[in-house]
Amino acid sequence: MTNDELNEKIRQACTHAAPDVLDAVLSDCNEQKGRVILMTTENKKKTWAVRMAGLAAGLCLILGGGLGVRNYQVNHTVDATVSLDVNPSVEIKINQKERILDVIPLNEDGRTIVGDMDFSGSSLDVAVNAIIGSMLQNGYLNELANSVLISVDNNDPVRGMALQERLTDEVNKLLQTDSFRGAVLSQTVVKSDELQQMAEQYGITLGKAQLIQEILGKNSLHTFDELAPLSINELNILLGKEGAETHVEVVGTASEKGYIGETKAKEIALAKAGVSESDLTFYTVGLDTHKGVMVYDVEFISGSYEFDCEVNAMTGEIVKFEKEYDGAAVSNASVEEHGEQSEHSQTKENQAVSNISLEKAKEIALSHAGVASANAFEMEGKLDWDDGMSIYEIEFKAGGYEYSYEVDAATGSIVEFDKEWDD
């Protein structure tokens, strides 16, 4: 079979397999009436998937951004400030993970303590241990001055209290050794504009400023100027001397080993007065402060005279000495708060003698009434003689009431008390 014959066979086979109906189809199309609908295929599944992918991507970006911000805040935002005060003052700023963000010495002693130590990224426990260790090594904490103040500033009171308790326990363990016993004061800081102002004015931590305010609230005879230069150990002694309940937690006892002692202070005062101990009818000795210096306040009566002597607690130097005839003491005590002299007559037989001061009698009356000295006004006091007894007559007003007290001038006990509405 030739090629031409073969091609003809193939053409005929294709013709029979697929008839030529093109003309018929075109003819039928021409006879159709109405509109022609063009059919297209829409990939709905694909469009939905694209949209969902976009939403997912956006959500991931939002979540990722939120997590990033949250992570930054946790790691780089100050969550709490812990201050450590002895005489060196150091502030430690931490994040929520209790990692160190910054350690700031607030005075020259603080700079000595921190030295070239780098606490970046360290835990709070590591930093506190290192700083307390440096205070011990450099002699700021010793048998003569054994007190440290821990103050926690946190916006969350519960978290702040928990942190305070943990640090108190930790530091207390560091300060209890075979040869050394420390004292730890701790508190949570309650911020106020006044507290911030005082801290900035005197260049001290908020914690130390708050401790001073606590002492002033118990004894208004002191001033902030007088207490600001004192060390934490000295402030701890004054806080314990007041004996009233405070918001400061105290573990241990403040050291007085650096002082000459009450016995020596009394000897110095008696020598100055030229009086022998056997001639005393009354005396008191106690630690106090005078113009920012710790002193022993020695008061005693011998013969017809009353003596008041203040002795530097460390050096034994006399910083104040007063001698008054008992009659003069009565006259002075009768001066009321507004500065006018009260009329008071006395004879040798019924002479009023006081073993406690007028200011002490006022403190006793205020304490019994539950009134802070800052809230009392029109306060007057005088020494008098009543039924064979020396008494202080104390009067004041507070909270809509008038108070009247008679306080035994010898013992400090309350003889009579009256409280009534202030008309």
Q: What is the mean pLDDT of residues 291-314?
A: 92
Query: Is residue 346 pLDDT above 50, yes or no?
Result: no
User: What is the per-residue pLDDT across 124-161, written as a single tens digit (0 to 9) for each?
Assistant: 999 999 999 999 999 999 999 999 999 999 999 999 99
Cβ atoms of 166 and 44 within 8 Å: the answer is no
Cβ atoms of 173 and 152 within 8 Å: the answer is no
Position 420 scores a pLDDT of 84
CATH number of 259-333: 3.10.450.40
How far is CA 79 from its chain centroid? 16
The residue count of the chain comes to 423
How far is CA 149 from its chain centroid? 9
Phi–psi pair at 219, nearest 5 degrees: -145, 100
Distance CA 77, CA 79 (A): 6
Query: Is residue 30 pLDDT above 60, yes or no?
Result: no
Position 20 scores a pLDDT of 57
* Residue among 253, 286, 292 at smallest CA distance from 146: 253
Percent over 90 (pLDDT), the chain:
51
Q: How confident is the model at residue 69 (pLDDT cuts 50, 70, 90)?
A: low
Position 340 scores a pLDDT of 39
Work out the mean pLDDT of the chain and round it to a whole number. Answer: 82
* Residue among 364, 391, 366 at smallest CA distance from 379: 366
The mean-pLDDT minimum among 75-79, 137-141, 287-291, 293-297 falls in 75-79
Position 352 scores a pLDDT of 47
Q: What is the mean pLDDT of residues 362-382?
A: 88
Cβ atoms of 198 and 209 within 8 Å: the answer is yes
Task: Report the alpha-carbon angle 62-67-73, nearest 5.
Answer: 130
Amino acid at 276: S
Position 46 scores a pLDDT of 60
**Strands (E) located in 71-202:** 80-85, 89-94, 100-105, 147-154, 183-188
CA torsion through residues 246, 250, 256, 262, sign? positive
Position 338 scores a pLDDT of 36
Q: How confident is the model at residue 4 (pLDDT cuts 50, 70, 90)?
A: low
Judge if 259-333 and 337-423 fold alike in CATH terms.
yes
The domain ranges of the chain are 80-251, 259-333, 337-423
The mean-pLDDT minimum among 28-37, 108-117, 201-210, 244-253 falls in 28-37
Percent over 70 (pLDDT), the chain:
75
H helix or E strand, kind and range, residue 212: helix 206-218
Query: Is residue 193 pLDDT above 70, yes or no?
Result: yes
Amino acid at 305: Y
Taking phi first (over 0 means left), then psi (-120 to 50 degrees means alpha), and beta for anything else, what does residue 372 get? beta
Q: What is the mean pLDDT of residues 233-253?
A: 87
User: What is the per-residue pLDDT across 309-334, written as a single tens digit (0 to 9) for each?
Assistant: 999 999 999 999 988 876 544 444 33
Q: How confident is the model at residue 386 (pLDDT cuts 50, 70, 90)?
A: confident
Distance CA 305, CA 235 (A): 33
* Residue among 290, 298, 269 at smallest CA distance from 221: 290
Position 331 scores a pLDDT of 40
Distance CA 318, CA 310 (A): 6
pTM of the shown model: 0.62
Token pair of 383 as six digits: 């020494």
Q: How confident is the model at residue 65 (pLDDT cuts 50, 70, 90)?
A: low
The mean-pLDDT minimum among 46-50, 297-301, 306-310, 389-393 falls in 46-50
Query: Is residue 15 pLDDT above 70, yes or no?
Result: no
- DSSP of 180-194, one letter per residue? -B-EEEEEE----HH
Position 330 scores a pLDDT of 42
Name residues whose C-beta falls within 8 Å of residue 410's C-beta, 6 or more positions apart in sequence.
282, 353, 354, 355, 356, 389, 390
Query: Is residue 52 pLDDT above 80, yes or no?
Result: no
How far is CA 267 from its chain centroid? 40
Distance CA 250, CA 259 (A): 21
Q: State the residue for tokens 């930054």.
A: 72
Phi–psi pair at 396, nearest 5 degrees: -160, 170
Query: Is residue 355 pLDDT above 80, yes or no?
Result: no
Distance CA 113, CA 104 (A): 11
Distance CA 395, CA 378 (A): 8
Cβ atoms of 413 and 395 within 8 Å: the answer is no
CATH topology of domain 337-423: Nuclear Transport Factor 2; Chain: A, (3.10.450)
Query: Is residue 264 pLDDT above 50, yes or no?
Result: yes
Cβ atoms of 75 and 82 within 8 Å: the answer is no
Position 6 scores a pLDDT of 46
Of residues 95 and 76, more confidence is placed in 95
